[in-house]
Amino acid sequence: MKEPASENKPKIGVFSLTGCAGDQLMILNLEDTLIELLSKFEIKSFQEASSYSENIRLDIAFVEGSVSTEHDLEKLKEIRDKSSLLVAIGDCAVNGCVQAMRNSQTSIAERMLDVYGVEDNIYRALEPKGIGEYVRVDFEIPGCPVEKEEVFNTLISLLNGDPPLIPDYPVCVECKLNGYPCVIIEEGKPCLGPIITAGCDARCPSLGLDCVGCRGPIKGETNAKAELEALRKRGYPDKYIINRLRFFAGNFPDIRILGERKNSKGEK
């Protein structure tokens, strides 16, 4: 079969804001599959893979990392302006992730003083947030890091002109489908599976471990207060549960509110 002309191949860019680059590494972990996919599109920028970059109009831009500085925000707006589709990859880009765990609990000035010994915002820092807080995002791939199979399926879907399919049900469903025992009921562990987006094939519960929430809460369906009540009944203190909920989802509204209520009572 004749390969499509270069000018007809979708042009793709992979970009990073404030983050660990783990999501870019997961794309590189596609290895031979990625090489095969290269016959279907052109990569014009990929920070973790190559210093080569072309500042041109893109069909699809993948962005990882949170908006944590004014520089991040400027870069994000530039990417959005030159891209037809924008895909947030990883929890940092989706909702701020670990970097946002202390949002609403400490100010930028307090963090600057704790870390750098000055109150002036010398690094133009912002409260870490997902990219959707600032620009239109077409699709989101959750995870810390993302699942490489999910990235592959997203690429194939977009190349075919279809929207990618991301699970909108909890990790508990995958536990049931795989026949894993419930670690909350059977072992009393503080599993967050009931409110966390599936897609990992319940990896942690499959090993007898409790879900820590690395794929983020299910948007529009998560009941953080009910999760708090369920774990409270099993003897876990509120502070521990809320901190656990905030670890990957400090910006999630229901979880943020729980933390603010505790702080209003003088708890840190």
Q: Based on the structure, what is the number of domains in the chain?
A: 2
Residues 203-249 have pLDDT tens digits of 999 999 999 999 999 988 889 999 999 999 999 999 999 999 999 99
Say whether both 141 and 178 belong to one domain: no
Say whether both 42 and 90 belong to one domain: yes
Peptide bond into 167 cis (omega under 30): no
Say whether both 98 and 10 belong to one domain: yes
Say whether both 141 and 175 belong to one domain: no
Q: Tell me, what DSSP letter sits at residue 268?
A: -
Indicate the residue among 124, 159, 194 that finishes a domain: 159
Residue at 268 is within a domain:
no
The CA dihedral of 68, 71, 77, 79, to the nearest 10 degrees, is -100
pTM for the whole thing? 0.90
Q: What is the CATH number of the domain that holds 143?
A: 3.40.50.700
Say whether both 23 and 152 belong to one domain: yes
Residue 129 is part of which domain span?
6-159
Say whether both 59 and 146 belong to one domain: yes
Say whether both 140 and 176 belong to one domain: no
Burial letters 134-153, b for 16+ CB under 10 A, else e = ebebbbbbbbbbbbbebbbe
| pLDDT under 70: residue ranges of the chain | 1-7, 261-268
Indicate the residue among 139, 159, 179 that finishes a domain: 159
Say whether both 244 and 142 belong to one domain: no
Say whether both 46 and 83 belong to one domain: yes
Say whether both 108 and 178 belong to one domain: no
Residues 166-191 have pLDDT tens digits of 999 999 999 999 999 999 999 999 99
